[in-house]
Structure 1
Amino acid sequence: MPESSAVNELAARVFSVRKRRGLSQKQLARLSGISESWVSKLEQGIHRDVRLSTVRKLAAALQVSTTYLMGGRGDTEHEVEPDQTLWAPTYQALIGLAGPPGEEPTIDSVRGGIEALKAPLAGNRYSELAAALPVLLRDVETFDGEGRALRSQLLNTAGWVLTQTRQFAMAEPTLDRAIDIAEDRLDAAAAVNTRVWLHLRQGQLDQARTLATKWADDMEPRFSKATTAELTMWGRLLISVSNAAIRDNRPGEAEDALKLARAAAVRIGYEVLSDTSTARTFGPTTVGMIDAENAAVLDQPDRVLRIAERISSQPRYATSVSRLRHQLDVAHALTVTRRHAESLAVLQRLAEVAPEWLAAQRYGRDILSHMFAAKRTLTPEMRNLADAIGLPY
């Protein structure tokens, strides 16, 4: 929440609710686990970069929603400036300025190009995706009705990658268009799920929860007749509801949504890809990882590690985003329980298997910063990792 007006609004709301609850700054600090001096500086408007996780702690202590304290705004992660070399061609293609194709594209050539995206999607190789997307986005626009489904799926792929790499302003209209033109309900729901995730990455918790809940309610399947694809998409939407609710200080709602998602996962019985245009997964393992993520949000590191012990160390989709995010939750839990060597090993493995993904994660930098704060000197491995993930000096 870097904007001064947003910080001032947060400060005013914290002060107002604290006063209404009859709490001193010292008492609020004790209840939230935040230092009294930090609370004091917040209410004075001194802090300029307040994390969503910190606002959630204050909200829990004050018994209000996180969204209320933020005034409906907030950004868990800042948008980054577009890389003019990497993402400018994608932007040009999205607004119709990519120029004419060199050869007349066909439905089969576009379909083959989209199929070829699956490997870099699964491997989180964003530079390869950035090179392939502009051509496909340009070519798919040359088809009318018969290319509409491919267009929606490709726009969801582009929106998903742009959200991953924090190109938020570019991702928003891309996903809205993917939803609008989708002919298939599952394709529309896949794009909605990505749109929900975009809301979450920007800290727009109420919007995320409302959108995911609406679509989950509309798509609720009859278990006796539901296809795997229907159960999978419904489960993914419920996971999104849980993700938003836990961050908005609604743990009961988060748990209820996760129970329903778990029922869908048990019905399926194994991990599957949740849609054809992203690398998201769903199944019992994914639900377990989201359970651990919720525990991390609630500052329950021991529970995170207990859940992690029950999750396979060799999952079917080892580089899925859910799996990678789970590994960050594990690294965070290890760090806060002062098992720094183990945490560093987890981060190093992530840097090896998903370097481009890790570089786009503010969470990873926060974990490493926490670790560094407890160290008087840094090992060469720590310094190399800091450079790899872009940790500021």
Structure 2
Amino acid sequence: MPHPADTTMGERLREIRKRRGMSQRGLAADSGVALSTIRKVEQGDYGSPRMETVRALAVALGVPATRLLGSAHETAGASSAVLDRWAPVRAALDAPPPPGVDEAPTVAGVRAAVTAAMPLAAGDRLEELGRVLPLLLRDAAAVADEPAGRPVHAALLGITGWMLTQTRQYEAAETALGRALTGAADDIGAAGAVSTRCWLLLRRGRIGEAARLAEEWADRLEPRMSRATPAELGAWGWLLLRGAAAADRDGRGDDAERLLRLAGSAAAALGQREVPGGFLRAYDARTVQLKEAEHAMISDRPDEVLRLSASISWDGMRPTSNNLNRNRLDQASAQARLRRYPEAVDTLETVWQAAPQWLPHQQYARDILARVVERRRTLTPRMRVLADAVNLPL
């Protein structure tokens, strides 16, 4: 029998289905995946299935999703238009440290400039961030050899890796996050780069790698709850949430719930204290609630998604891609699953108005709108506008 790595997903699906004594029709009934889709996947005529489809099949078969995906699965990266738009950022990332100049940047000046740019990232203003990053990367590289400049450079590389992951420029994101990890001053600083890399691996479809990395670092950073600092609790909590996300996508719901409970204990120990380090490290009970709603969506409990989302208080928090907007996509997905299509369109439109530069990079949004479009005989003008916004061909 060929090694799983040498077979296609369709071959693995067919082999496991037959070992379970299931027909294609029976698998369709148990998984909720269309019989025609299962046939096309097994015949190798389907292309690359969505993770939602892979997970549903894996759960019905009682195997991890990674068993179906194999080791060669990789999701699509950025379009050529996106690559062209952010080429200056990638060039600055690869450029050697600049030679000495008459007015060399100072650590204090670079730190202030990086701090001033953070609202662009937190506010989903990706295009503006892309315009300032080349100069920031150049200046931060110029001070990276100084003891005080190294963590500033590492922090900027972490933000750059986050932006490149957000825009699906995966190889460049790996480079930035690897350098951020190398330049981190301590394990807490390194954990920020590791957490973003876990997210990057999940976006790439490399679920097993993400799970292993999150587990390794969560074990490494597990704090003593009675005396843990906010930074320690936040870093540990985020790694647990990344591990839960990987377990969810692998069809291991029990593991995901266990990790979510641990993440909740970190939030409880943190209480009202604030985690330092900017928006990427922000962590509290609401962070966990958002991931619980995401877990409910992945577990195909749309009513629970809407219930949990409605219970979250947003007082004092601005909606960004890392909190409300991402949760709104879960709400839109739940509404579409419940056939509440006008509400799903309303929710997607709200996200577009709040984060017009962020939404086009969300494959999730395209999938949700595609579900709505498939079930409508005619498209409203609003649907057509949204389709253009998320790059959904009609």
Deviation at 1:270, TM superposition (A): 4.3
Q: 1:259 aligns with which of 246, 258, 261?
A: 261
Report Cα offsets for 1:306-335 as digits up to 9, x if no partner. 111211255623224232111100000011
Report Cα offsets for 1:91-140 as digits up to 9, x if no partner. 11111158667842111110111101111011110111111111111111
Partner residue in 1 for 2:80: 81
Q: 1:85 to 1:66 in 2, by over 3 A?
A: closer
Write the distance in 1 (CA, Å) between the matches of 2:6 and 2:165.
24
**Unpaired runs of 5+ in structure 2?**
none
Write the distance in 2 (CA, Å) between the matches of 1:8 and 1:362.
27
**Unpaired runs of 5+ in structure 1?**
none
Write the distance in 1 (CA, Å) between the matches of 2:289 and 2:35.
35
Moved more, 216-225 or 95-104: 95-104
Write the distance in 1 (CA, Å) between the matches of 2:240 and 2:316.
22
Partner residue in 2 for 1:39: 38
TM norm structure 1: 0.94
1:122 aligns with 2:102: no
Partner residue in 2 for 1:342: 343
Q: 1:379 to 1:319 in 2, by over 3 A?
A: same
Write the distance in 2 (CA, Å) between the matches of 1:346 and 1:103.
49
Moved more, 38-47 or 91-100: 91-100
* Equivalent position SS for 1:356: coil
Moved more, 75-84 or 351-360: 75-84
Report Cα offsets for 1:1-44 as digits up to 9, x if no partner. xxxx9996100101111111111111111111112222112111
Write the distance in 2 (CA, Å) between the matches of 1:6 and 1:360.
30
Write the distance in 1 (CA, Å) between the matches of 2:6 and 2:32.
20
Write the distance in 2 (CA, Å) between the matches of 1:315 and 1:260.
25
TM norm structure 2: 0.93
The question of whether the paired residues in 1 share the 8 Å contact of 2:230 and 2:273 is answered with no
Write the distance in 2 (CA, Å) between the matches of 1:270 and 1:115.
24
**Alignment RMSD:** 2.1
Write the distance in 1 (CA, Å) between the matches of 2:158 and 2:68.
32
The question of whether the paired residues in 2 share the 8 Å contact of 1:265 and 1:282 is answered with yes
* Equivalent position SS for 1:275: coil
Q: Give the letter aligned to residue 298 of structure 1.
A: S
Q: How many residues align?
A: 388
Q: 2:182 aligns with which of 180, 195, 199?
A: 180
Q: 1:324 to 1:353 in 2, by over 3 A?
A: same
Q: 1:387 to 1:187 in 2, by over 3 A?
A: same
Matches within 5 A, 1:236-275: 236-270=238-272, 272=274, 275=277
Q: 1:134 to 1:273 in 2, by over 3 A?
A: farther
Partner residue in 1 for 2:219: 217
Q: 1:78 to 1:8 in 2, by over 3 A?
A: farther
The question of whether the paired residues in 2 share the 8 Å contact of 1:92 and 1:98 is answered with no
Moved more, 379-388 or 55-64: 379-388
Partner residue in 2 for 1:355: 356
Partner residue in 1 for 2:104: 104
Of all paired residues, the percent bearing the same amino acid is 43
Write the distance in 2 (CA, Å) between the matches of 1:124 and 1:274.
20
Write the distance in 2 (CA, Å) between the matches of 1:28 and 1:119.
48
Partner residue in 2 for 1:309: 310
Partner residue in 2 for 1:135: 135
Q: Give the letter aligned to residue 311 of structure 1.
A: I
Deviation at 1:85, TM superposition (A): 5.0
Deviation at 1:279, TM superposition (A): 3.5
